[in-house]
Structure 1
Amino acid sequence: MADEQLLEGAVPPAANRHLFGHEQAEHYLAEAYRSGKGHHAILLEGAEGIGKATLAFRFANHVLHFPHPPDAPEKLIVPDHTSTITRQVIAGASHDLMHLKRPVDAKSGRLRTAITVEEVRRAGHFLTQTSGTGNWRIVVVDAADDLNRNAANAILKILEEPPKNAMFLLISHAPGRLLPTIRSRCLPLALRPLGPHDLSAALSALGIDTGGEDAGKLADLAGGSVSEALKLINYGGGEIIEAYHETLAGGDAEARAIMHRLADTLAKRDNETVLAFLLGHIDEDIKARAREAAMSGAIARAERLAVLSSEIGKDVATADAFNLDQKQLVLDLLSRVRAAVN
């Protein structure tokens, strides 16, 4: 199954045999399903890149192997790549599982900015068809945060009256962005970022050389996220973060020179992953500074930073939607952040 968003060094979630740090969630899903009292819609919440999609596909694979709940084992099975069912799930060829995600635009070849209502309608049609194997019909929504308004309303209707033997596994990096009515119809299962030991184990399972990086420091920089750690290690994310903070601390001439070097580098088409990494870091940095200001009693500064964070989020979404010049976007954002924090 091709994944346009797969990072260098990563394994597609459906094919990943390794899952670290979420033993309690695995145990809960296995026990709830085996008891026959599992929920028809489960919302896996947590930071991006911590294993939510891997857990979703692992659970889906488990259910498809054991369609009669009382026959299921007490623990989720590890995907067996020699199994026909598992191979079909990995290849995206299963007649009983649908991976609902942002589609690729036929004209540009790029991922669209949202999951559209047409995609949800396809999922609805998929769920109404009778399984040839008599198995469950499972839809993995990855990520539910990407549903546009019409798509969200369409999926809500399905959640309100789900077909028999239908199951939704919704993945959310930012649950607050979901419609409250969608959340209310799902069973939330929150996953925490990985600690240093689990993150190191996950990277080791991928064959990633951390270059002797301190496990605690790497986990802190990556926010307990495997995907963020891969960006730090394989995409030069560490150097990008260092350059960003140099633009905030340096003199005007030095800062401008660094800004232009960063913008030139990040505006290249093959650097879209690193650009997204920087934008995410900027957002987290501004929010952290806003929290720090609020805690110290500098309410006016906290409010300015909070407004800036919201404005930047809107500007980034607009630039993405209309394919605006990325170099100018980076220069503008860096200038505004520098002015706000100094």
Structure 2
Amino acid sequence: MSEETAGILDGAVPPARNPHLYGHRSAEDFLARSYRSGKGHHAILIEGPEGIGKATLAFRFANHVLTHPDPEAAPDHLSDPDPNSPVSRQIASGASHNLLHLTRPVDEKTGKAKTAITVDEVRRAGHFFSQTSGTGNWRIVIIDPADDLNRNAANAILKILEEPPRRALFIVLSHAPGKLLPTIRSRCQSLKLSPLSDEDLSKALAGLGMPLEGGRTEEIVLSMGKGSVAQALKLLNYGGTEIIAAFNEVIAADGPTARKAMHRLADVLSGKESDVIFGFFLEHLSDYLVARAREAAFAGDLPAADRQARLVSDIAEKITVAQAYNLDRKQTILSILEAARR
């Protein structure tokens, strides 16, 4: 597994190879016009929820810049990449000498992506710029996502952003920009993307060969997909709808029935190759608890709202500790479920 395909969900197309983007025409037009003006910022921070097309937009814009290296001669809009052009082929294969994609590296022992983008990865950017400094070409670095930079890596990126090389462009992606160093945010031009509309989400899924054909499945995907292709794929291809149903059963049941339901759900979430669905479950659980806290607050029960809000933090801490010390996942899940039922 390469870094370009690590973390790609079943049914998805790696952003570097994705020829289509849905729902972000205004953002595309902004980037194209900004580049054509010759006054575009050297660092663009593309913000928005995970799975709505930020990385695909980043690669589309990189393709646009490398295809039209003279800003004044560039079109005022982004087009679908031409799969037969040398630039598109090089980007799709990860072989472009003018584009560097910084993401979490793959652990050679496990074949999985590591938990953070390290300073060693950022040093690749320094090497990249030194190798290409004499070509006169645009040099583009996509940081995907910057949320995964550890502290040392973030500081190293900051130094490059403070004194960017000539004809260098940084495209910084973030699912949660509030977690970024304020100094990184301040050196980037922010471009916020919104979740996809139901229509655009349906088009994106159809483009992946998974058209929504009405019925209960479409209703669930559109209501719980949060305008995110990634979220929809987890619902469709990873058993997300079944996980939600099982969690609802845990919450609604009592006594021995609840205990059995908890163990069934914990067995699924702690099984082999369950990382994606486990992450999906944690996100759903957080949403559930936040909704309960909000309901309690609106009802005027501030102590209950405070308990639910604290529970979100407590569960996040449990997960952090369990992962840091490689604790038994099933027991951790059972503990979390027990806390959520209170």
TM-score, normalised via structure 2 length:
0.95
SS at match of 1:43: strand
**AA in 1 matched with 2:235:** L
Whole-Å separation in 2 of the counterparts to 1:183 and 1:325: 37
Q: Is the 8 A contact 1:210 1:233 kept in 2?
A: no
Pick the aligned partner of 1:205 from 193, 204, 207: 207
| Structure 2 counterpart of 1:285 | 288
Pick the aligned partner of 1:261 from 244, 258, 264: 264
- Change in CA separation of 1:313 and 1:50 when aligned onto 2, cut-off 3 Å: same
Q: Identify unmatched segments of 5+ residues in structure 2.
A: none
Whole-Å separation in 1 of the counterparts to 2:28 and 2:67: 16
Whole-Å separation in 1 of the counterparts to 2:327 and 2:60: 38
Q: Is the 8 A contact 1:41 1:168 kept in 2?
A: yes
**AA in 2 matched with 1:329:** T
| Structure 2 counterpart of 1:169 | 171
1:111 Cα shift?
1.6
SS at match of 1:115: coil
Whole-Å separation in 1 of the counterparts to 2:338 and 2:79: 51
Whole-Å separation in 2 of the counterparts to 1:282 and 1:71: 50
1:217 Cα shift?
4.5
| Structure 2 counterpart of 1:39 | 41
Q: Deviations over 1:90-126 (max 9, x none)?
A: 1111111111111122333322111111111111221
Q: Identify unmatched segments of 5+ residues in structure 1.
A: none
Pick the aligned partner of 2:253 from 241, 250, 253: 250
Pick the aligned partner of 2:309 from 306, 323, 326: 306
- Change in CA separation of 1:125 and 1:213 when aligned onto 2, cut-off 3 Å: farther
Q: Within 5 Å, give how 1:82-93 maps onto structure 2.
A: 82-93=84-95
- Change in CA separation of 1:72 and 1:171 when aligned onto 2, cut-off 3 Å: same
Q: Is the 8 A contact 2:141 2:170 kept in 1?
A: yes
Pick the aligned partner of 2:57 from 55, 58, 68: 55
TM-score, normalised via structure 1 length:
0.95
Q: Deviations over 1:221-268 (max 9, x none)?
A: 011100110111111110101111111111122221111111111211
* 1:276 pairs with 2:276: no
Pick the aligned partner of 2:143 from 130, 141, 144: 141
Q: Within 5 Å, give how 1:201-240 maps onto structure 2.
A: 201-213=203-215, 215=218, 217-240=220-243
Whole-Å separation in 2 of the counterparts to 1:119 and 1:93: 17
State the aligned residue count: 339
Give the superposed CA RMSD: 1.6
SS at match of 1:202: helix
**AA in 1 matched with 2:93:** A
Percent identity between the aligned chains? 58
- Change in CA separation of 1:320 and 1:87 when aligned onto 2, cut-off 3 Å: farther
